[in-house]
């Protein structure tokens, strides 16, 4: 018998798309959120799913969503400010937890703060189980397998091409990116996790036939890839969404120590003022033909390239919805490998992840 799946944040943009992807896979998630009218409308549209009221302001309501062995999927962000109640509920219950975060400080908190408690309770925590950052973990794992012995450094890049007109990111994504710019992040350097600002390094990758720049960001790879290859001394993840502005982002990283002194509440207020007039959803035209590209390159200690993996996929929100649906369904039906804070390879195994990612349209580039 499959475990119960609960989707918290179902009425948001990412949550709604994830609910649709789950139903398309034959799953019957419980739709949870704070607005009963919107929950009811979504439930009716998707065939009469069960609903449950819950809000991050009432932690007891979130805790009531899950029991031992259940699967809790959270799309409630920004996660740094709103994500803790869902993780805490999963840890207390001994549940499996997946989320759609792309926020490095939250990913780090799940691994370092909640991970040990999850091991004790029997919970399994899989943060960033979407476009951020499953494809890069997968590409890095495949490149490491191809490289064999001698891997010293892995560089992973995330890129978008063929965008149409309009804004390609949701309001929530833009708020998360803005918050990240003022927060100390991390990298895997000299065989350990080190704190550093976003954009501290920049390099180009060959993507879709042309060189494209990316700047460094904290991600899941810094936790996942050293598990796969314990001898790795460096793991860098590069975000290539900024195009020609990458140089400005890189230069701006020097201001991070000053920006980090600004109170978090003041930053959140400023970001809210700037973004509140934006539509909540991204522009549909911008995503119609968009392609996502993921590159992982493995080098030895001399800097020689040992292996390269290139993956391509649809637009980021489709990836996230399909991966969350696959991961939740797989966890509910077959469970996961291990407890504590995990990544997609550790939880499901590399071969199973390759198959699941292919169902989400993430495949090797021709």
Q: What is the mean pLDDT of the chain?
A: 90
% of the chain beyond a pLDDT of 70:
84
The Cα 151–Cα 269 span in angstroms is 44
User: Looking at residues 141-168, what average pLDDT do you find?
Assistant: 90
Q: What is the pTM of this model?
A: 0.91
Which pLDDT score is estimated for 184?
Answer: 81
Per-residue confidence (pLDDT) for residue 290, from 0 to 100: 85
Secondary structure of 158-194 in the HEC alphabet?
EEEECCCCCCCCCHHHHHHHHHHHCCCEEEEECCEEE
Q: Which CATH homologous superfamily contains domain 5-131+318-364?
A: NAD(P)-binding Rossmann-like Domain (3.40.50.720)
For the chain, the structural domain boundaries read 5-131+318-364, 134-315
d(CA 214, CA 179): 19
Of the two residues 148 and 177, the one the predictor is more confident about is 148
Query: Where residue 180 falls among pLDDT bands split at 50, 70, 90?
Result: low
Kind plus residue range of the DSSP H or E element containing 64:
none
What confidence tens digit (pLDDT) does each residue in 277-294 have? 666 666 666 677 889 999
CATH of region 134-315: 3.30.360.10
Per the model's pLDDT, the better-predicted residue between 254 and 336 turns out to be 336
Question: In this predicted model, what pLDDT tens digit does every residue of 311-328 receive, in sequence order?
Answer: 999 999 999 999 999 999
Q: Which two tokens stand for residue 107?
A: 């990913």
Q: Give the confidence band of 171 by pLDDT, cuts at 50, 70, 90.
A: low
In angstroms, the CA 1 to CA 121 distance is: 22
With bands split at pLDDT 50, 70 and 90, how would you rate the model's confidence at 259? Answer: very low
DSSP string, 109-128: HIIIIIHHHHHHHT-EEE-S
Q: What is the pLDDT of residue 2?
A: 73
**90 vs 64: CA distance, rounded Å:** 10
Q: Tokens for 266? A: 């003041």
């Amino acid at each position: 018998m499959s475990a119960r799946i609960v989707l918290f944040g179902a009425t948001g943009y990412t949550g709604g798309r994830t609910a649709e992807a789950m139903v398309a896979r034959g799953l019957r998630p419980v739709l949870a959120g704070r607005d009963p009218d919107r929950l009811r409308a979504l439930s009716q549209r998707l065939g009469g799913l069960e609903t449950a009221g819950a809000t991050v302001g009432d932690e007891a309501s979130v805790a009531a969503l899950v029991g031992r062995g259940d699967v809790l999927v959270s799309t409630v962000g920004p996660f740094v400010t709103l994500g803790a109640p869902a993780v805490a509920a999963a840890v207390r219950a001994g549940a499996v937890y997946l989320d759609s975060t792309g926020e490095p400080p939250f990913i780090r908190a799940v691994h370092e703060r909640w991970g040990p408690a999850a091991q004790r309770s029997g919970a399994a925590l899989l943060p960033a189980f979407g476009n951020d950052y499953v494809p890069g973990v997968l590409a890095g794992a495949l490149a490491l397998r191809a490289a064999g012995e001698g891997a010293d450094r892995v560089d992973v890049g995330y890129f978008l091409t063929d965008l149409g007109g309009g804004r390609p990111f949701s309001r929530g994504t833009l708020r998360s990116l803005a918050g990240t710019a003022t927060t100390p992040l991390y990298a895997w350097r000299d065989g350990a996790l080190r704190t550093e600002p976003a954009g501290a390094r920049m390099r180009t990758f060959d993507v879709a036939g042309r060189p494209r720049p990316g700047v460094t960001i904290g991600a899941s790879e810094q936790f996942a890839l050293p598990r796969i290859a314990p001898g790795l001394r460096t793991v860098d993840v590069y975000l290539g969404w900024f195009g020609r502005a990458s140089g400005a982002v890189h230069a701006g990283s020097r201001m991070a120590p000053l920006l980090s002194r600004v109170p978090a509440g003041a930053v959140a207020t400023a970001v809210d003022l700037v973004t509140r007039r934006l539509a909540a959803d991204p522009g549909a035209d911008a995503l119609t033909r968009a392609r996502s590209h993921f590159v992982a390159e493995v080098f030895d200690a001399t800097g020689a390239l040992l292996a390269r993996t290139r993956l391509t996929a649809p637009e980021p929100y489709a990836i996230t919805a399909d991966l969350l649906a696959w991961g939740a369904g797989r966890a509910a039906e077959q469970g996961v490998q291990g407890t504590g804070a995990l990544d997609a390879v550790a939880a499901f195994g590399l071969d199973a992840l390759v198959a699941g990612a292919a169902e989400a349209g993430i495949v090797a580039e021709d």
